[in-house]
Amino acid sequence: GAGVSQSPSNKVTEKGKDVELRCDPISGHTALYWYRQSLGQGLEFLIYFQGNSAPDKSGLPSDRFSAERTGGSVSTLTIQRTQQEDSAVYLCASSSVEGAIDTQYFGPGTRLTVL
Amino acid sequence: KQEVTQIPAALSVPEGENLVLNCSFTDSAIYNLQWFRQDPGKGLTSLLLIQSSQREQTSGRLNASLDKSSGRSTLYIAASQPGDSATYLCAVYNAGKSTFGDGTTLTVKP
């Protein structure tokens, strides 16, 4: 079966523009995560969706960031009025929580460059 | 707030050596701990997952241990190969969030 896919793989945008990043999780996975990895830094948690529960948005760095998950599957991360500090690799992961088992499977990421 | 530290930040070894990567975390109330590999320009690949009730997991040349009470995990790589060169990340998971360390960049020289 297919793994987690993300699109686009690369995105270059001008400061102030809005961007949308897409994540297609593994079919059947109920949990979906967004992370950000800035150059030379570790992974930063952004947002977490679990089934039909309200998402955990505690990691979103500002109100310019938002995410949706439609139909419990595809997710879109939207960044409004992009800033240069938003430049990073945005990684999506999905998992199937079964009891105490939770392995996250990561997509290849979207490299965002804000000029 | 959970903090995860990985030591060393970088490691260079000759091919064939056994090596240990370290991960420590400040809050022992974790659900599980996961080790990942990240190759340049690529996403993350899961290597081993240790549940909170387990002490270790093994996969091939890799062995990961977990001491939850002391907030430590180690990743042991036996007989290292140049193909093992990558950044190794550990992540602890609790309450729907994974907190990642900054990683250890491993270089295995032929």
> What's the pLDDT tens digit per position in A4-42?
999 999 999 999 999 999 999 999 888 899 999 887 677
Q: Residue B100 CA to chain centroid, in angstroms?
A: 10
pLDDT tens digits for range B11-50 = 999 999 999 999 999 999 988 899 999 887 677 888 998 9
Task: Say which residue the tokens 């056994």 belong to.
Answer: B18
Q: Does B93 touch chain A (CB under 8 A)?
A: yes
Contacts of B45 in chain A (CB under 8 A): 106
Interface test with A, best of B48, B98, B102, B105 (most A CBs within 10 A): B98
Q: Residue B43: which of A42, A48, A91 has the nearest Cβ?
A: A91
Tell me, what's the pLDDT at A79?
97
Please say if the pLDDT value at position A97 is more than 80: no
Q: Which residues of A touch B101 (CB under 8 A)?
A: 42
Chain B closest-CA separation from residue A106 CA (Å) = 6
Long-range contacts of B18-21 (CB under 8 A, 24+ apart): B18/B76, B18/B77, B18/B78, B18/B79, B18/B80, B19/B76, B19/B77, B19/B80, B19/B106, B20/B74, B20/B75, B20/B76, B20/B77, B21/B74, B21/B75, B21/B77, B21/B88, B21/B90, B21/B104, B21/B106
- Mean pLDDT for the stretch of residues A72-94: 94
Q: What is the pLDDT of residues B57-79, one digit of tens each?
A: 999 999 999 999 999 999 999 99
Mean pLDDT of A52-72: 89
Report chain A residues whose CB lies below 8 A from the CB of B44.
91, 93, 106
